[in-house]
Structure 1
């Protein structure tokens, strides 16, 4: 292993003999950021303020599994964007686009599911033609409003839903004519369904988890109360939750990426690599995943604009599927190229590492979703 304070006699990028802290031939620093925490921290701060034309060369190499990480660890750093800077750029850009691409509002739900909103027993519980007409108007109101905001070419599902409501209303009116309900003074009261607004008016019980200190339970109680008060807003504007979630993901990744580097360190204890070298691999891995997700989001947005083009949806669907399938294949090839072990050993480690990290990411996603409810 190299000393944290020593630097090589020759430039690791172009092999020119060094006469100071920088190579006079290519300008690369003699100090490796994977050998010194001080230089690693310096690079983190620099990453927020500097960007140059190397980004295009870096992105090209990023598309080749393991090529960029292997080159960077071999000392070829000056021609590429540093991994932390690349990761910050791609993660922020990806989840900014995600907030634009993912929409969940009343109009979206109606267009995705043409079935009219179900009110259990609504028509069945109507006992007069006037009540049937009242239910019918209540069901048609959101459908008519959505229909007016949609282009003419996309109104067919809404028209079908409206026709279905009319058929249900007509059927119930015929039933009432053929079998009039018998008046009864003992008719049981219909229970009012429990709504989101009812939850907002019911104060949360204090959180009391035995193994947690008092301040932690009080903090969780406060978060639960905030979530309870936010539920009516979320039910009316679910996009608020989506925006809060995607806005929090980049911050969560700054915890998950170093954790993934710890897992790499554990799985490759005999590789002789330092933790910061594993962190480089983790950063480039997540940078690629962000780039792939960005591609999927852009393809989905493109598909939404090409609904009238024959065959466009099928082609875009195939491209999205190929991207999703390529993501684990890319990471497997990258792990094989960087660490140089056999395919069998690499596949076994990749499977175990992937399962463990997927479990952590799933738990983090659940926690992040719940935390997002309190940040709206």
Structure 2
């Protein structure tokens, strides 16, 4: 229920009828003041989902713990007790995107604390006696003119604390190398050599491959490190996951439509199932994301193991959820349920991976 102030004027602003109480008997609009503070835009949005009658919390409980129940109830025509599927999906998407923006992914799975992870700290100079590390530094010392890679290496090592561990040093030596010293594109190390070879032996896929190659060589020229490349790609891919789910909604429903009787099940019915299932997936993605952030903040061995275990259980549950929901909604039995459910699951899995690959390539093209 809204907590907006009731207007003294009893004429409905929407249809002009007289309003004796809070809601207009003709159109149902609430007769409250139309001017509000700015924060009302957000409080009203949340309030619509969490008002006193528990509609949202009941929807959330059944969505997470009772696969297929919300879809069955909605298709039976009982649509007042729970949040409508479209409204639910939009709200869950909003919360997921908001949390991703509020808590950047850059620290997921890594320590957010300034202290080193290893409790046994030793002096950096002692760790430099390691044969592998010492060999690198001896090689650098013998050079009169340092290469770009060596300069990057020394620059990043200088940022380490005096109590840095060997793992910290080795990670810096490996991950802070510029990608132009470690990678090539189809065996070519420069844009010029690649373009020359592409001109001599053109392919029908050049319209897709050439932009990727040119972007790769552009990043090489800028000296992007492997660490930066991996981090940026991982972050963009994870943030694109909710977008990929949204784009995949109609295709997922289409696959359901193909595998079930057209006279009994309309495309609309499959759409309702899809909206509920994808709302569930978004919530699971959000929970796993938040648990991942928590592992970085806590950084305690036993507790982190427990958190990773919970994350694994959630991932497995998200897969089992589909089979349970499909069985309960479409009322398939025995081996037929397993065959149809399994076929749909793997068909959608590979199709969705294809979509994610496309989004990853788009993300790569947007790196700078």
Q: TM bucket by the smaller chain? A: 0.5 to 0.7
Where do 1:1-376 residues align within 5 Å?
52-53=48-49, 54-63=55-64, 64-98=66-100, 100=103, 102-103=105-106, 130-131=141-142, 142-143=156-157, 145-147=159-161, 158-161=164-167, 194-195=181-182, 202-203=191-192, 205=195, 209-210=203-204, 221-222=210-211, 224-226=213-215, 228-230=217-219, 232-233=223-224, 235=226, 237-238=228-229, 239-269=231-261, 272-308=264-300, 311-376=302-367
CA contact (8 A) 1:244 1:375 kept: no
Task: Write the deviation string for residues 336-363 of structure 1: whole angstroms up to 9, x where unpaired.
Answer: 1111111432111111111111111122
CA contact (8 A) 1:241 1:372 kept: yes
Shift of 1:65: 0.8
Measure the CA separation in 1 of the matches of 2:214 and 2:75.
48
Q: 5+ unaligned residues in a row in structure 1: which ranges?
A: 1-23, 28-48, 149-154, 166-192
Task: Quote how far apart the aligned CAs of 1:80 are.
Answer: 2.4
Corresponding residue for 1:171? none
1:372 CA drift (Å): 0.6
TM-score, normalised on structure 1? 0.61
C-alpha deviation, 1:314, in angstroms: 2.5
Hey, what's the Cα distance between the residues in 2 that align with 1:146 and 1:361? 41
Q: What's 2:52 paired with?
A: none
Q: Which residue of structure 1 aligns with residue 18 of structure 2?
A: none
Q: Structure 2 unaligned runs (5+)?
A: 1-24, 29-43, 50-54, 122-126, 172-179
Separation of aligned partners in 2, 1:266 and 1:281: 14
Task: Give 1:147 shift.
Answer: 3.7
| CA RMSD, Structure 1 to Structure 2 (Å) | 4.7
Shift of 1:60: 1.6
TM-score (norm 2): 0.62
User: What is the CA-CA distance between 1:93 and the residue it aligns to?
Assistant: 3.2
